[in-house]
Structure 1
Amino acid sequence: MNRIAFTLNGQPREVVDASPNLTLLQWLRGPAGLPGTKEGCAEGDCGACTVILVEPEALGGPAYRAVNACLVLLPMVHGRAVYTVEGLADGGRPHPAQAALIEQLGSQCGYCTPGVVMSMFEACYRTDLDEDWKLDDQMCGNLCRCTGYRPIRDAARQVAGTRPADAFSAALAEARPEPRALSYEGAGGRFFMPEDWAGLWAARAAAPDAVLVNGGTDVCLRITKGFEVLPALISLEALAPLRALEAHPDGSLFIGAGVHLSDLEAFARDHSPAVERMLRFFGARQIKNRGTVGGNLCNASPIGDLAPIFLALGAVAHARGPGGARTIPLDAFFTGYRQTALAPDEILEAVSLPAPPAGDVRVVAYKVSKRQELDISAVSAGLWVRLEDGVVAEARFAFGGMAATPARAARAEALALGKPWTEATARAAAAGLDLDFAPLDDHRGSAWYRGTVAKNLLVGFFLETEGGRGAPRLPYRPTGTVQVVAS
């Protein structure tokens, strides 16, 4: 099929001859003639370009998902439904999200307003926004530089979870997965979106140098910020096996590489609180709605946020290629800076987390960055211990931002093993981090800063999990900028 077919604001559209490197944002503001969607940063940070994609196979059923149009390539919407701010009004009557923003005086210059409205639109049809921090998480990907966030938050709170009985609710109830297989060529570029393994191997044989892409939150930056032209891309988004998300009776988890981070966050809320905690401040809602587990791990970034907590939990990577499948302990998955143990013809199919052992097990995830939202880690950590009669029987201390890859701290772990789990043991293990890592200086933190933070996190892990003996901790999603902590 050499055409991109989708629906836009309820109307069928077909596109031919467009470059596969064209973003949805560029197409909307250009050929589609819909300039309501704005360009602010072209890197997924400001939210001005937020639009809605219908996700028929989201966890819990079909869902509206706010996404950054600057990080969605046009062929990625093949077989999907897209809504922009121009498509929300019903017969001239504003959608409740639009009306609420007007009532609360949530717009001044107006540049951010269309994106804000689209994030509020998603909030209207969510059923899990039962705490203030979740509403903050919903809206944190939309930046405003003039109105101030109070009226915007008030407007979002007014409509969140209301699920109005309108045409959008009816359309969502009827949403069904559409065939998405695509082999497209336009403007000298190629884009493949296979729906099964045979189609994937055929696409890779036809375009051996093609760039693999799923959510696109990283690959698209090569186009929008690096100004690369990628001659061929293969999207993994339509491969159903990559969307597997399973909790087994023994407590083990199987997480497909194509699972969106927002779905994993909701799933982990019931099955792995430490993973859920990390995902709370992983990034903006729009990023989590597109970013995937496999993308975050296969980037092999030293500051990828999922890797430390997965390492601490003893994760295993599941690789698949034309010759079959194999498993790789996540400890051995990262082989160098942005390099993995995957063979050239393999992809990451899934990650499995083993069943938690019986007994006294403690695990926490941490992320330290200059901002709470929308920021890249300086240091991240996943810390795990199993105690027997108060003595450390097993320890896994994993860190990001401390080396060329996310890595476990073998010497620090050894210093804790066989010792009573006390503050003195935690401090001795923390001192051992100097033997495990030699972090670099960069604009996110000096080597001294990273090393000091990592040590403090390890001691803080003990204090936080030892019956609340540590100082009271601020919540990870505070409801205001000032928190008062009782002495």
Structure 2
Amino acid sequence: MKFILNGTPVEIDFIKEKLLFPHMTVMDYLREHAHLTGTKEGCGIGDCGACTVCLAERDVFGNTVISSVNGCLIMLGMLDNKHLITIEGVAKNGKLHLVQQSLVEKRGSQCGFCSPGMVMSAYAHYLNKKPFTRSSIESSLSGNLCRCTGYESIFQALIDVEKYERIEENPELPENSREELFVEKNGSVYIKPLDLQSLLKYKRWYPQYTLVSGASDLSVKYKTEHPASVSLIDISDIEELKGVTINKDSLTIGANASIESAKEALSVYYPQLSEYLSTFASLQIRNKASMAGSVAGASPVGDIMPLLLALRAGIVLTSDKSSRSIESRNFNTAYRRHIMADDEIIEKFILPLPSERHKLFCSKQSKRKDMDISSMTFCISLSIDNGIIKDVSTGFGGMAAVPCASGKIEEFLTGRPFTEDTFIKAKPLVRQEFSTISDIRGSAEYRLLVAENLLIKCFNDLK
């Protein structure tokens, strides 16, 4: 495996390197083997951002894309053919970068433990030529926690960066000479196919192996469970699964498209989704977490499936023998279960483009705005024709064992006038439709009450 680390080419032979494994986290590799200890471990599960690093790679068009990612989540094998930049690689020739210097001058650091991660998120922001405005900085630093400063000195320091002329920086990438990885070592297997055809072949041969793309769930699981061995198929670099294409009346999003790239594409046609999808974890996680990963996990509180349900999106399932398209409503079969056969993968999602009369409302309720699992989620899609509600479709998360629609609410709203009274009368149907449970994220009564109130908020936002 070949990649660049802070400007220096690195080549790893996993068979010869006895202590290195492709499924180990980048953070563990940096701290324990590359001896670059500026990348800090705070939580180890993607919650704090102290381990943030920058990753430069090619997109499906061959352009260089730079993103901030969590070093504690992405796996070492995912660095193949990319350029990894850590805090040690930001300053040049003994001179602090503009982002670093501004944080020093504005005293944007106290204990300093979070500072490397803050710098790396701001550095990715800088490299991507984003404006250093308050709102854009808050977005880029949404996955970075600080216990000391209260953030204000950090924000003021980074706002000051906008005053200075930027210096063009273009991280070098290795020659585009990818090779398939197949590493079998100490009972673990890590396969990284190069294309969709190879992936489907491996999926047929090894149906029990786990597919991994962004590792935002899997690395957390390994952190807590410490499995003796793993069997993985890394699909993170399969270009056929990353594309986003626009057709006459639909938007096709590849299964391996990141949540952030899907957000950018969807927000063009559904502007309200920019805010909704921004509450999905943090920018670091959205940069790597995939659409298919969120859906295939079949979590009852996942943020993506309620949206797909409300839009009645199609899901294309593919094996090396055939493909089939199903409606998103038919994907989940039970708690953490789905309809996919052992040799199938999610290939893509097909979402309708909105008509002039179409309206969409989405709301995620959680204890924190950023970096939190939802207590419940509500999405609804409808159209209004001469004041009459039509084409109603809903999606709820956190209200049942699986994300689901409410047939009762859809039937009741259809054909009725678009008035507040209509939505008030629909509220009792929430308790008729759902039997929720209480857990650490919220009581059953809380979820039911919030769902009822969101019906009214939906009307007020859409009217």
Shorter-chain TM-score tier: over 0.9
The answer to whether structure 1 residue 403 and structure 2 residue 405 are counterparts is no
Q: Deviations over 1:271-290 (max 9, x none)?
A: 22243232121121111111
Q: Distance in 2 between matches of 1:63 and 1:157?
A: 23
Q: Deviations over 1:253-278 (max 9, x none)?
A: 00011111111222222122243232
1:106 maps to: 108
The answer to whether structure 1 residue 142 and structure 2 residue 141 are counterparts is no
Task: Output the aligned Cα RMSD.
Answer: 2.0
What residue identity is the alignment partner of 1:272?
Answer: Y
Q: Would you say the 8 A contact 1:377–1:401 is kept in 2?
A: yes
Cα displacement (A) at 1:59: 8.7
Q: Deviations over 1:49-95 (max 9, x none)?
A: 00111132179942221111000111111121101101111110111
Normalised by the size of structure 1, how large is the TM-score?
A: 0.90
The match for 2:326 among 328, 336, 339 is 328
1:473 maps to: none
Cα displacement (A) at 1:177: 5.1
1:171 maps to: 171
Q: Distance in 2 between matches of 1:253 and 1:461?
A: 24
List runs of 5+ in structure 2 lacking aligned partners. none
Q: Distance in 2 between matches of 1:207 and 1:341?
A: 18
2:70 maps to: 68
1:445 maps to: 442
1:34 maps to: 36
What residue identity is the alignment partner of 1:443?
Answer: I
SS in structure 2 at match of 1:225: helix
Normalised by the size of structure 2, how large is the TM-score?
A: 0.94
Q: Would you say the 8 A contact 1:415–1:428 is kept in 2?
A: no
- CA, structure 1 residues 336+456, in 2 after alignment: closer, same or farther (shift >3 Å)? same
Q: Distance in 2 between matches of 1:68 and 1:297?
A: 21
Q: Would you say the 8 A contact 1:207–1:232 is kept in 2?
A: no
Which runs of structure 2 are paired with 1:192-203 in the superposition (5 Å)? 192-203=191-202
Q: Distance in 1 between matches of 2:165 and 2:326?
A: 43
The match for 1:91 among 78, 90, 93 is 93
Q: Distance in 2 between matches of 1:21 and 1:41?
A: 19
More divergent stretch after superposition (94-103 vs 436-445): 94-103
What residue identity is the alignment partner of 2:360?
Answer: V
Which runs of structure 2 are paired with 1:6-405 in the superposition (5 Å)? 6-15=3-12, 16=14, 17=17, 18-57=20-59, 61-129=63-131, 132-159=134-161, 164-166=166-168, 169-171=169-171, 178-179=177-178, 181-250=180-249, 252-357=250-355, 359-405=356-402
SS in structure 2 at match of 1:432: helix
More divergent stretch after superposition (195-204 vs 115-124): 195-204
What residue identity is the alignment partner of 1:51?
Answer: V
- CA, structure 1 residues 416+292, in 2 after alignment: closer, same or farther (shift >3 Å)? same
The answer to whether structure 1 residue 417 and structure 2 residue 414 are counterparts is yes
More divergent stretch after superposition (93-102 vs 122-131): 122-131
More divergent stretch after superposition (334-343 vs 17-26): 17-26
Q: Would you say the 8 A contact 1:125–1:163 is kept in 2?
A: no
- CA, structure 1 residues 434+177, in 2 after alignment: closer, same or farther (shift >3 Å)? farther
Cα displacement (A) at 1:464: 1.1
Q: Distance in 2 between matches of 1:388 and 1:130?
A: 43
SS in structure 1 at match of 2:94: coil
Q: Distance in 1 between matches of 2:30 and 2:104?
A: 25
Q: Would you say the 8 A contact 1:398–1:407 is kept in 2?
A: yes
Cα displacement (A) at 1:183: 1.6
Q: Deviations over 1:107-140 (max 9, x none)?
A: 1111111111100101102244476333211001
SS in structure 2 at match of 1:269: helix
Q: Distance in 2 between matches of 1:164 and 1:409?
A: 52
SS in structure 2 at match of 1:70: coil
Q: Distance in 2 between matches of 1:409 and 1:196?
A: 39
Q: Distance in 1 between matches of 2:91 and 2:365?
A: 41
- CA, structure 1 residues 206+248, in 2 after alignment: closer, same or farther (shift >3 Å)? closer
SS in structure 2 at match of 1:233: strand
What residue identity is the alignment partner of 2:436?
Answer: P
Q: Deviations over 1:314-371 (max 9, x none)?
A: 10001111112110100111111111111111010110112324x5221111011011
SS in structure 2 at match of 1:399: strand
- CA, structure 1 residues 290+410, in 2 after alignment: closer, same or farther (shift >3 Å)? same
What residue identity is the alignment partner of 2:428?
Answer: A
Q: Distance in 1 between matches of 2:289 and 2:266?
A: 16
Cα displacement (A) at 1:184: 2.1
Q: Would you say the 8 A contact 2:269–2:354 is kept in 1?
A: no
- CA, structure 1 residues 177+60, in 2 after alignment: closer, same or farther (shift >3 Å)? closer
1:483 maps to: none
List runs of 5+ in structure 1 lacking aligned partners. 467-487
Cα displacement (A) at 1:147: 2.2
- CA, structure 1 residues 135+175, in 2 after alignment: closer, same or farther (shift >3 Å)? farther
Q: Distance in 1 between matches of 2:359 and 2:213?
A: 33
Q: Would you say the 8 A contact 1:23–1:73 is kept in 2?
A: yes
Q: Distance in 1 between matches of 2:278 and 2:399?
A: 22
Q: Would you say the 8 A contact 2:60–2:239 is kept in 1?
A: no
What residue identity is the alignment partner of 2:82?
Answer: R
More divergent stretch after superposition (441-450 vs 231-240): 231-240
How many residues of Structure 1 are paired with residues of Structure 2 in the alignment? Answer: 458
Q: Would you say the 8 A contact 1:120–1:160 is kept in 2?
A: no
Q: Would you say the 8 A contact 1:300–1:405 is kept in 2?
A: yes
- CA, structure 1 residues 56+226, in 2 after alignment: closer, same or farther (shift >3 Å)? same
Cα displacement (A) at 1:143: 0.7
Cα displacement (A) at 1:206: 4.8
